[in-house]
Structure 1
């Protein structure tokens, strides 16, 4: 059966048939909050997500860490739900909840049985406007966040390297600042800073409600109107961010640390995203196809060349994410085999990149990548929550429902020439950022 489905997907790639994936439904409340339903009737369960169009890149200068701070504070309670009770109530009703912060959005979600949907909608709507923000609330959580930063970044050499790469990759854009924030700025965030941020950004017209699961629009709409529709509209916000200037030099970041057990190499380039495709609207889709060709499997170009044929690396690949409001990045990475120096591996990687620029990709590679990507899209429907994640992350950066749902058709529309044009635009004659992680010798400066 799996092979039959794959064959049918191959036909979809070859012929211009519209390939619907999640079949979403949507409406907008009078206060401006967008509501999206993604039907999934496999089990009587729903995933309820509220996405706010605010992330770390929207923070005021010198106030890094506020967006992530609210990922914690939203669980601290309201006048009607005491601190810590939100998650306890969800768990008591057999559900799971969590939150996450990115550069461009902050999202809160619960996965519960269908008959508990109203309960979590009521609680989520309550903390959209009635969050308790006092000195007694924020100070303990500040310490938790600072410890989180110490554990996840300050005590992890690879995370430290990634953070430093970002600071030189983006010279002017706030993507250069870590999502969790700088420790010295987190320490100085005031109660007024937090209250002002909450008042500005946490409002229904700056949020998207996405519900995926065994529920109909006839059931969802009255609940959304009852709990979210009564919340007053907040200020209208235009997200204005500084643009990135052209680079005039290659940059290198080298991190040496005695805790490193496996050296690694990264080489990154600025690349267009869904929200930053002003010059070539096909580029984000072409670069996703390129990623599949270069890094999609054990038969991909980089793995075959650097790991299998040349035996220089234990792993190798290329990463790219189009889901950004502004410019993104494309990164080649590899980890050397024992006894292979990072310098030798870097030269081999550069040779592969130069070959890619010179010869481009082949037609059969593009077709195989398209089939694989659309195959993944079809099977994504089997996992509850995937659709909510896809639509939330794209709607939060300004994409439309139709554009998101028609992703397979956009992938199918990409030609070999489109891929080669996009990769050369990103890679050819561009200044890069190279990051190297290696073990420090005894007595060597870290």
Structure 2
């Protein structure tokens, strides 16, 4: 995002951590989401256009998904995809710097962007009578971006300050960074999307121009329009503005690295100054987000760490009182994902004891099925997130684009709720056994530099497969 860096959680992961609300009863056939009708066409230059009409309000959402993210950062330029996201709001051949804000905010609309490992997304929501000018503006910055040295240095400084605030000044910043870095060995998913200060400083305007030319092209993008529009007009405008953008010659570079399976547990000790309380993370390698196991993994994450009634929170914070904070999430990218557990110790507690207790609690989910009540609670939360994503034109446009680009099929927007509802307690047990194995675990322990904390011998007791 332009103002606050955040990695994109796919809509499935987003649902898993969204606050609960009064969602329809799970499996209630009387209140399913109606199927979303949409059109899907590809222009001669390769741009894919997805569109869905919604005339409930006179607004329209425009999303442009570029199939380039942090995993595509050039060598020695980590954080570049995110830096480039900022630069896309600067000048073009026919737009002054920040003019996109005037085209949206001055008419009561909004604009923003986000960078994830696999995609960079730019979006606007405006009154529907302003659709044409926003389509023109998006096509303009796709084809005619101009960045001078002054704007480049200004935005680079903004991103560097984001790094300082979110990570360098955060007492747990190094833990968050190392959790990602240690989570992968071969795949560039291991590079945090925010990058690092030295490599950001080394970036140049020449790098910017090369990156734009390489990835910001119509055959590497998906345009999504949802809301109050006339289909014939949209077709005409998309053809007029985007159809005029030339398709460059040459193939688009793609990441070819494959993350190998984990075969042994790793334990990495990280220290940093001024750590208030010891903490640790544990990651487990999981498949890409489109995989059939994703809904069950999301349910598992919810049961383990969502809310004060979750397994880990109840066991570590309430019962044993050895932890002060717990979080669990299952985040999937297109090629691989991480199931991540973060636990902060209570005051005076030893990290090795906390790790042992946490893993013992997690092992229970590999030995017996969750309860019907736990399954229902997790599904209600997940279903609620899916329903909320469809409540607005903005959320629907993002959902449709994510389905097309990350899940590989835009029609998945109409099947995700059924996939969640189909998860059984047996499915959760199966994925817990499959993925939460100690041999699939990387632990990052995090303590203050001045503290001497022993690293416990990992508990790798065998669990029946």
Mark yes or no: TM-score above 0.5: yes
Question: Is contact 2:27–2:421 with CA below 8 Å preserved after alignment?
Answer: no
Question: Is contact 1:28–1:34 with CA below 8 Å preserved after alignment?
Answer: yes
**Which whole-Å deviations, capped at 9, do the CAs of 1:341-365 have from their partners, x for residues lacking one?**
3333222211111211222434554
For residue 314 of structure 1, the aligned residue among 305, 324, 333 is 324
Question: Does 2:383 correspond to 1:374?
Answer: yes
Question: Does 2:15 correspond to 1:6?
Answer: no
SS class of match (2:366): helix
- For residues 370 and 443 of structure 1, do their structure 2 counterparts lie closer, same or farther at Cα, with a shift above 3 Å needed? closer
SS class of match (2:339): strand
CA distance in 2, matches of 1:334, 1:252: 15
In the alignment, which residue of structure 2 is the partner of 1:229? Answer: 243
In the alignment, which residue of structure 2 is the partner of 1:274? Answer: 289
TM-score (norm 2): 0.84
Q: CA deviation at 1:339?
A: 3.6
Q: CA deviation at 1:171?
A: 1.3
- Would you tell me which structure has more helix in proportion to its own residues? 1
Question: Is contact 1:320–1:330 with CA below 8 Å preserved after alignment?
Answer: yes
- For residues 46 and 3 of structure 1, do their structure 2 counterparts lie closer, same or farther at Cα, with a shift above 3 Å needed? closer
In the alignment, which residue of structure 2 is the partner of 1:425? Answer: 434
Q: CA deviation at 1:49?
A: 1.2
Question: Is contact 1:21–1:378 with CA below 8 Å preserved after alignment?
Answer: no
In the alignment, which residue of structure 1 is the partner of 2:214? Answer: 200
Q: CA deviation at 1:227?
A: 1.5
Question: Does 2:307 correspond to 1:293?
Answer: no
For residue 284 of structure 1, the aligned residue among 291, 294, 297 is 294
In the alignment, which residue of structure 1 is the partner of 2:267? Answer: 251
- For residues 41 and 298 of structure 1, do their structure 2 counterparts lie closer, same or farther at Cα, with a shift above 3 Å needed? farther
CA distance in 2, matches of 1:4, 1:350: 32
CA distance in 2, matches of 1:199, 1:3: 44
- For residues 335 and 249 of structure 1, do their structure 2 counterparts lie closer, same or farther at Cα, with a shift above 3 Å needed? closer
Question: Is contact 1:168–1:251 with CA below 8 Å preserved after alignment?
Answer: no
Q: CA deviation at 1:199?
A: 0.9
CA distance in 2, matches of 1:306, 1:236: 51
Question: Is contact 1:22–1:39 with CA below 8 Å preserved after alignment?
Answer: no
**Which whole-Å deviations, capped at 9, do the CAs of 1:21-52 have from their partners, x for residues lacking one?**
54443322222212222444443222211110
- For residues 223 and 253 of structure 1, do their structure 2 counterparts lie closer, same or farther at Cα, with a shift above 3 Å needed? farther
Structure 1, unpaired ranges of 5+? none
Structure 2, unpaired ranges of 5+? 1-19, 454-465
**More deviation, 59-68/132-141:** 132-141
Question: Does 2:331 correspond to 1:331?
Answer: no
For residue 140 of structure 1, the aligned residue among 154, 179, 186 is 154
Q: CA deviation at 1:250?
A: 1.2
Residues 33-44 of structure 1 aligned to structure 2 (within 5 Å): 33-44=47-58
Q: CA deviation at 1:398?
A: 5.3
**Which whole-Å deviations, capped at 9, do the CAs of 1:145-188 have from their partners, x for residues lacking one?**
33332232222232222112222221111111121223222222
In the alignment, which residue of structure 2 is the partner of 1:25? Answer: 39
CA distance in 2, matches of 1:253, 1:404: 41
| Cα RMSD, aligned residues only | 2.9
